[in-house]
Amino acid sequence: MDKRTLGTGGPQVSALGLGCMGISSGLGPAASTAEGVAVIRAAVEHGVTLFDTAEAYGPFVNERVVGEALAPYRDQVTIATKFGFTFGADGRQNGLDSRPEHIREVADAALQRLGVDVIDLFYQHRVDPAVPIEDVAGTVKELVHAGKVRWFGLSEAGVDTIRRAHAVHPVTALQSEYSLWWREPEAEILPALAQLGIGFVPFSPLGRGFLTGAIDARTTFTGGDIRSSIPRFSPQARRANQALVDLLATIAARRGATPGQVALAWLLAQQPWIVPIPGTRSPARLSENVGAAGLALTADDLAEIDRGAAAIDVHGDRYPAHLQQLIDR
């Protein structure tokens, strides 16, 4: 698979990474450790070298699965994890916490769970309004100097926060949602990242599975699947948003691809420093996603997608209200 560089002086990684959250949380009951290890190692065999996890996924379970899976390949891969939440005894999130002492505690715990000597990419999972971002960046800078972290990242951060953090310690990558059905980053985020030399790692690049065409208005979601609470996944919204999948399917049929591959190829065509991280538990879906890295959309394809998408009004908010308030502006 082709390689891309995240940020000025950042790691060179595969053009597509693997988002590992869904192996352990967010999409219903967790996969077994064996299943998680198998799909992660299959991704390595496909040429994937960027793997994304977080203490919040499980919580804690996902880092252990990722660490076990990648132990034989440690010198070939880049592992990203995150800090910024606290958890109760029941495993539920208790809120945001990016205090310097907590960041240091999370780093030490993540190193143990992952079974590594250094965290390659350490993201602030969500911006904590109670802690100045300068303090957060300064703490990660100390961890870099201590040899515990290689690169610093932010997730769902706004332009002002990104600039303030970057002034203290270089931000290597921003991770935020970006896809054909969520294009808000194009207005301010992408220009700022280009100016500052920061890479972009879109999560949910397939619209949490919707852009693959495998979900329609009749689909039901199991308990623990975050999509059951997302307004964009109400049956009415899914029915209206099917037009976007139909657009992708038209291009896919012409190019001998799938709608999901076209959606990922469209993202890859936007900037050479964009590295999407589609997640999956399925070896078949993994192979399909990886195939998108070899799909070069033509200028006519891209223009047709942009024209068609501009005429489609995507229905439904991307988060329920209690999660929407965690997004930095």
> In the chain, what are the domains?
3-324 (3.20.20.100)
Contacts of 107 (CB under 8 A, 6+ apart): 83, 119, 122, 143, 148, 149
Task: List residues with catalytic annotation.
Answer: 57
**pLDDT under 70 in the chain at which residues?**
329
pLDDT at residue 322 in the model: 78
Instruction: Give the whole-angstrom CA distance, residue 258 versus residue 232.
Output: 22
Q: How many CB atoms lie within 10 A of CB 325?
A: 9
| pTM for the whole structure | 0.96
Contact call for residues 144 and 169 (beta carbons, < 8 A): yes
- The confidence score (pLDDT) of residue 329 equals 67
pLDDT at 284: 96
How far are the Cα atoms of 50, 70, 182 from residue 75, in angstroms, in the given order?
A: 12, 9, 34
CB atoms near residue 86 (< 10 Å) = 16
